[in-house]
Amino acid sequence: MDHRLLVQSLTKFLLGVAIIGALLFLSAGSLHYWQGWLLMGILFIPMCCAGFVMMAKNPELLRKRLNAKEEEKAQKAVVKLSGLLFVAAFVVAGLNWRFGWCVLPDWAVWVSAGLFLICYLLYAEVLRENTYLSRTIEVQENQKVIDTGLYGIVRHPMYMATTVLFLAMTLVLASPFSFLIMLFYIPLIAVRINNEEKVLEEGLEGYREYRKKVKYKVIPFIW
């Protein structure tokens, strides 16, 4: 086992738990914000399990997923703005619960939690299909075009899963205001995808032909 990778993974994981927990519960002013605990559970328990699976079966993929340092200028801006969106969405969710502005009913929270977990499974399937997936936009050595499975339906199934996942996250927190904030993630991810496709066309053999074969980027028949 790569102990350095293990320490790096656990450090980032615990830091994520601490930051999101602080944003949610400090803004809510209470630890009784049960929707916040629900999100923490369905977000971090599968993440922890997936991390250990990758550590055992594909540590190189885990290493790629931990690397968040973008080289592309356009991508750096997208990452920063996305981070601000998440902070705003979590803080507003806590405030929404604290002051009771417009809290979604429990059934909507549980339906959203189910959708969230389905998207998590789709995300896991994308990682299984494409071991070249890193968190940064780059063409890796010996990388090949993946055109089977979900990649035979849309060119960016990871963004399909994460976009719905992020939107569902705000509904798990029972906050329609946070949902509206997170809608701004869609134009940001569109910028990221356009830049990524430009990089892949220039550096990945066969990607131009793949674009002609699979016409939709994120949502079949729509986008």
User: What's residue 126's pLDDT?
Assistant: 86
On whether the CB atoms of residues 62 and 127 are closer than 8 A, the answer is no
On the 0-12 / 13-18 / 19+ scale of CB atoms within 10 A, 17 is middle
The 3-state secondary structure of 196-218, one letter per residue: HHHHHHHHCCCHHHHHHHCCCCC
Per residue in 147-164, pLDDT tens?
888 888 999 998 999 999
Average pLDDT, the chain: 87
Mean pLDDT calculated for residue range 60-82: 72
**Higher pLDDT residue, 112 or 124?**
112
Structure token pair of residue 93: 């969710």
Mean pLDDT calculated for residue range 189-218: 86
The single-letter code of the amino acid at 130 is N
Domains and CATH numbers, the chain: 3-213 (1.20.120.1630)
On whether the CB atoms of residues 36 and 94 are closer than 8 A, the answer is yes
